[in-house]
Chains A and B, each alone.
Chain A
Amino acid sequence: MTDDTAGRIADPSAASSARGRTGLYALVWRVPLLVWQFLFFVVPLAFLVYLSFWLVKNYRMIPGFDAINWVKMYSKGYFWDAYYLTFAMAAVATVVASALAFPCAYALSFKVSETVRRWAIFFLIIPFFTSYLVRIYAWQVILAENGVINGLLALRDLGPVAMLNTKFGTLVGYLTLCMPLVVILQTFSLANVDRNLIEAAHNLGCGRIRTVFTVIVPLAKVGLIIGAVFCFILSFGDFVSPYYLGGSRPPTLSILIIDTTKSGQQWPKAAVVAVTMIATLLVVAFAAVGAAYRKPK
């Protein structure tokens, strides 16, 4: 294996040591990631696939290679109910988040100064890294039967409206999780759209709305799709919102994993659900990235 020092030429000794075998110096920097992510990322996921073929007898797991868990799980109606529910909820969250984020990202890209945009992104990054769990708890209090919103409605002699333990509640949770990231990703791609092309469209008599959908959206397509994909991945895998805001019944796939895992030694069955989820996400992600980079005809 040959190494290039990324097109840089230093003194001959350094260049030759970098060009021949991969030297000690290069390995020192390369190996830590390989070792750690192999031992604690690749192997655990591979083990999860293997685990899905194990057997459970008398509440004990027995290593084996039997498709019985797959057959059993896939023949259960509640598994497919959970699958469709999870997929549909994640898809709805993706559409809603993308649609709600777009005007905001558009405004941040075209209607405010660069300083405002930079600060807006600064503040959007903060919640993305800030306890999702506590934010969901706050929503629980806000949306509850006797919570803040219904309290406000009661002042006007309205309500109460059931929001907690409904699909609406789950959706609010998904949006809490995804909105900051989707707005950030959309803003990055919209801000990079060439202003001259927008100007040209206007000069050629293209209306405002039409410019947005025939010029700006196609130019920013990659970023918009990547934002949507992240929203789908996050919502599809999240268990907190459907559990604490959606009432956990009917369960989503992630709740199914938790229930199955925590109820004794049913890990192989949980592994079946987990592997199915990863496969679904891979298909969705690849399809979306394919669509993002496909050349328009």
Chain B
Amino acid sequence: MTADRAITIFLRLYIGVVFCFVFAPIVASFVFSFNSDRFPTVPLGHFTLHWYETIYNDPDVWDALQVSVLTALAVSVVSTFIGFCTAYTDFRYKFFGKNAYLALALLPPTIPLVIMGLAMLAWLSRIGMSGQIYSIMIAHVVMCTPFAMAIIRLRLAQMDPSLEAAAWNLGASEWRAMRSVIVPFALPAIISAMCLTAAVSFDEFAVAWFVSGLNKSIPVVILEVLQGQVDPQINAIGTFVFLTSMTLVVIAQVLLMTRSKKEQPA
């Protein structure tokens, strides 16, 4: 069956091609960030740390980093909390209108970012809450909660529902069962959700651009530099942003993977 063999090899190579396409811009940005040319092309220029020095000495970048980190931290805590509450509600209760409730929980990522941005800007400025750091946080929580909810819900689905009931039977109150049974079981997913929502918030540029006013986050700075001309600083900032969000996403995934593997019945 040489034809089969050839098809298999071809298809495996094709996987490689798709991965090249997906990772090409990430690798390119990393390479260009150490490249001396202002307009990178092949052959490459020489190695330099110039672009990193430039951003290191740029106070605007540090201000933006502060906004981004503060936002990501607050968003990860709040959206994971709301996501946990929602996942637990879905896990345990049936009630009238639950489908609408779940739609509310999961729909935000399907709304185009520009429209979210415009709606947020219009509404928040109407109630006098636009142009602040907390404006970005508010909008990001809306967008991140679905991810947190989904991760924690998947984790709860792995739990034997009778565990909670067993705790009640042993005399634990609902609150006590939550603290001693549900939360410890969901903990890897909770931490995972915090990492993932932090990554989403740290990378989000569109809605932040609309509502942030003068409090620019890192992605908004990138967006505004992009509107000028080619500037290799972006690659240096970009590499830093890539490493940050990749680390968070990898931690988020590893947390979910290792735990579910360990608990699989032999």
A interface vs B, CB < 8 Å? 1, 3-6, 8-11, 14, 17, 22, 25-26, 28-34, 36-38, 40-45, 47-48, 51, 100-101, 103-104, 106-108, 111-112, 120, 122-127, 129-142, 144, 146-148, 150-152, 155, 175-176, 179-180, 183, 208, 233, 236-240, 244, 254, 257-258, 261, 267, 270-271, 274, 277-278, 281, 285
Contact = CB atoms under 8 A, between A and B. Distances in A.
Given A34-B104, A134-B242, A6 B24 contact: no
Interface string B173-214: 011000000000000000000001001100101100010000
Given A5-B92, A36-B145, 7 more contacts: A45-B111, A48-B115, A122-B257, A135-B25, A271-B118, A274-B119, A277-B112
A267 B223 CA distance: 21
Q: Which of A44, A123, A152 has the most CB of B within 10 A?
A: A44
Interface residues of B, number: 93
A146 B43 CA distance: 12
Contacts, number: 268
Contact of A48 (B122, B149, B165, B219): B122
A36 B142 contact: yes
B266 interface: no
Interface in B157-185: 161-162, 164-165, 168-169, 171, 174-175
A48 B250 CA distance: 37
A37 B108 contact: yes
A42 to B, nearest CB: 7
29 contacts: A1-B95, A5-B93, A9-B165, A11-B169, A33-B149, A36-B82, A36-B142, A47-B119, A48-B119, A104-B15, A107-B11, A107-B14, A125-B253, A126-B249, A129-B199, A129-B245, A130-B242, A131-B242, A138-B26, A138-B32, A139-B25, A144-B39, A148-B42, A239-B206, A240-B206, A257-B118, A258-B114, A274-B115, A277-B115
B245 A3 contact: no
Contacts of B142: 36-37, 40-41
B169 A10 contact: yes
